[in-house]
Amino acid sequence: MICYVARWKPDAKGRIARAAMELYGRRGYERTTVAEIAQRAGVTERTFFRHFADKREVLFGGSRRLQDLMVGAVTSAPASAAPIDAVGAALQACAAVLNDRQFSRQRQAIVAASEELRERELIKMATLTTAIAEALRGRGVKEPTASLTAEAGIAVFRVAFASWVDPANRKEVGEVMRDSLEQLKVAISA
């Protein structure tokens, strides 16, 4: 009988992501190299670059998926939904995939500790705002309402996310998103 030993371990992308998060958390983003991440994950640098364009993408690789999810929710909201409620549907759609609070806390701490990553996070949020505004315009929402509503929705997202990752918070992310959106509605109508 011939036994074959696998030359590679499965889930290279996941191992790379876990290794990067561990090293970023321990050493800092700036002081961690792709070579160190690859070594820790048991892959080559070439394998790293097959899965991630650069070391930032370990933290931001899901941005496009999040955008597609939120835009899809805005687009598929009932035609009768007010613009802010269509954005509320987008917030709930993203809440459905934000289920790893510990990872989110760790990611948030890594981003907060790096000027480069904070800038990248702002770019991600601006891109998301633009995409949501475009989806609202596609629903027939005129300007400036589409842009204002998208900006307000992303503000709710950011405030709710920060509240959700706070260790003192025990609520689920969907509940925090709903509560934050309701608080915005109350503030607007007051």
pLDDT at residue 179 above 50?
A: yes
102 assigned to some structural domain: yes
Which has the higher per-residue pLDDT, 124 or 4? 124
Copy the structure tokens of residue 54. 């650069």
Residues 49 and 101 in one domain: no
Identify the pLDDT of residue 167.
93
Residues 109 and 149 in one domain: yes
DSSP 1: -
* pLDDT interval class at 8 (50, 70, 90): low
Structural domains of the chain, count: 2
* pLDDT interval class at 7 (50, 70, 90): low
- Model pTM score: 0.88
* pLDDT interval class at 10 (50, 70, 90): confident
In which domain, by residue range, is 45 found? 12-58
**How many residues in total does the chain contain?**
190
Identify the pLDDT of residue 146.
98
173 assigned to some structural domain: yes
The lowest-confidence range among 7-16, 70-79, 108-117 is: 7-16
pLDDT at residue 5 above 50?
A: no
Express as a percent the part of the chain with pLDDT over 70.
95
Long-range contacts of 118-121 (CB under 8 A, 24+ apart): 120/56, 120/59, 120/60, 121/60
pLDDT at residue 77 above 70?
A: yes
Residues 37 and 84 in one domain: no
Residues 90 and 47 in one domain: no
Residues 109 and 178 in one domain: yes
Pick the closest to residue 95 from 60, 132, 69, 124 (CA basis). Answer: 69
